[in-house]
A and B are shown apart, each in its own frame.
Chain A
Amino acid sequence: MPIIEVRNLSKTFVTKDATVQALKEINFEVEEGDIYGIIGMSGAGKSTLVRCLNYLEVPTQGTVIVEGHDLSKLSGAELRSLRSSIGMIFQGFNLLMQSKVIDNVMFPLLIHKVTKAEAKKKAEQLLDTVGLSDKAQAYPAQLSGGQRQRVAIARALAMDPKILLCDEATSALDPQTTQSILQLLKKINRETGITIVIITHQMSVVREICHNVAIVQSGEIVERGLVEDIFTHPQSRAAKQLVIEGKDPDEFAKEQEAKSKAVPILHESRKIRIVFGTQSSFEPVIANMILTVGVPVNILRASTMDVGGTARGDMILGLPADPASQEKIISYLKERGLAVEEVQ
């Protein structure tokens, strides 16, 4: 049974001057122990979606089932008690700025009537887990962004939650710090089996730690599945943009705007993208293909990246104009077991 199940979830905001449908008919589930990514550009509805998972936002329609509980059926007290098993971290860390690090971590414990002594012991353990034992008596203002997020993680883990929700948790951090936070989340997932839901607008984050991903666009999930599958066979336009262009949705939107203004200069007749697994490597396949088919191809891009811990090669080829050669090339590559994708 999935630990999180979302069925036909819709959310409409009614404000004085507008009605915004932030989420439309969202369906997905997250299995226990998974690291699930939700990616989309700013304004797509990701924060609204993740806030529906602990009912900080109450959906207009649909059901959210967490650990077998339909959240709409819970009383206020039951909901608060369930929330103690759903930790959450935020882009802005949201720490108590007037409280010491240790008191921030103790906060959820004291709220739930754990004794002070026990809370302190637990908080010290958690600070050790996130590598901040020496900062217990510091105030958040004395810490760097990465350290603050570690405190927030320790706080989120205080009640030993089964689920950790992360809303753009690394978006305010530099790439190096992002890496260290992601590694920490991965470690916690591995050691405790906690289910993690990661909201992000960065494909690199999804590639780095998520097993499953849902792509959200204008309030809808346009594609979801294993990160590896989506990386290999992106179906939707949004997924193709993310995977093939290797861009984050925000950047892509900007790019599209720029493109629509620019005059197209170069025109390849047909482009394909191929993805290599761990076994195959670039050169022999391409070299052999050229020898076999007897026509040259244009290598437009080639890169390797880490997808869920395994190295993946990714190459975009510009094909010759002649359709017969194109077909030969494609069938040759497919015979070798490579994923071939048409690219615009």
Chain B
Amino acid sequence: MTANEINMILTGVWQTVYMTLVSTLFGYVLGLPWGIALTVTAKEGLHPNKVVYRILDIAANIMRSVPFLIMLILVMPLTMLIVGKTYGSTATVVPLVISAAPLIARMVESSLNEVDHGVIEAAQSVGATNFQIVTRVLIGEARVSLVSGATITIGTVLGYSAMAGTIGGGGLGDIAIRYGYYRYQADILWTTVILLVLLVQLFQAIGTLISVRMDKRHI
């Protein structure tokens, strides 16, 4: 590999990490309130609301059933509107966020639903508002599960970002397609694959470490 190629791969690593983290972050900006709203408006929730729940529920189902590559193409007009172009790693963030958000919403929903109802009742009995229960009870008590969910999300988004490489999305996936696939440069192909695997491992290890550290339920 030439120095240029090594530089390119390093840039690819950076772009992949950038796309993954930024998309996950914005994914949570949408998905966290979405998941909270699902939990709160559910039948057994803090503030049941059939209509709102149905809308959020169906929206999550529909968006989750669109394959990422199709989503990438479908949202191109939106990407154009927001970023001003449809290629490169920043442009890829848009479809990544839109695909990650419903996944995040579902994971947040299931994490929050794990919280023991008795603890919620105890908070209600001291006069907590629903907002206080969400912010001070549900999120705190579900934090281990939420972090596990975030770790899974990061792995999934990283995989999607590599897929986006097939249509000029930037990052390691992009390099793997252009050099490994079109130019048959096996060394570059394998290097990118190994780097992708290492990145997933790294994020997983960090996520696991954090969730173990913050779990105080078992001594």
A97 contacts B by Cβ under 8 Å: yes
B67 contacts A by Cβ under 8 Å: no
Chain A contacts for B218, CB-based, 8 A? 141
A150 vs B217: C-alpha distance when bound (angstroms): 18
A152 vs B123: C-alpha distance when bound (angstroms): 11
Pairwise interchain contact A98-B124, C-beta atoms closer than 8 A:
no
Residue among B121, B123, B143 making CB contact with A98, cutoff 8 Å: B143
A81 vs B128: C-alpha distance when bound (angstroms): 9
CB nearest to B137 among chain A residues: A96
Pairwise interchain contact B119-A54, C-beta atoms closer than 8 A:
no
CB nearest to A104 among chain B residues: B122
A94 vs B124: C-alpha distance when bound (angstroms): 11
Q: Is the interface of A mostly helix, strand, loop or mixed?
A: mixed
Chain A contacts for B216, CB-based, 8 A? 97-99, 139, 141
CB nearest to A92 among chain B residues: B118
B125 contacts A by Cβ under 8 Å: yes
Chain A contacts for B128, CB-based, 8 A? 80, 108, 111
**How many chain B residues touch the partner (CB < 8 A)?**
25
Pairwise interchain contact A108-B137, C-beta atoms closer than 8 A:
no
Give min CB distance, A9 to chain B, whole Å: 18
Give min CB distance, A89 to chain B, whole Å: 8
CB nearest to B126 among chain A residues: A108
B109 contacts A by Cβ under 8 Å: no
B115-156 contact mask (Cβ, 8 Å, vs A): 1 or 0: 010110111111111001000110011011000000000000
Interface residues of A in 294-327 (CB under 8 A from B): none
Pairwise interchain contact A90-B136, C-beta atoms closer than 8 A:
no
A86 contacts B by Cβ under 8 Å: yes
Chain A contacts for B121, CB-based, 8 A? 56, 90, 94
A156 vs B126: C-alpha distance when bound (angstroms): 7
Give min CB distance, A212 to chain B, whole Å: 23
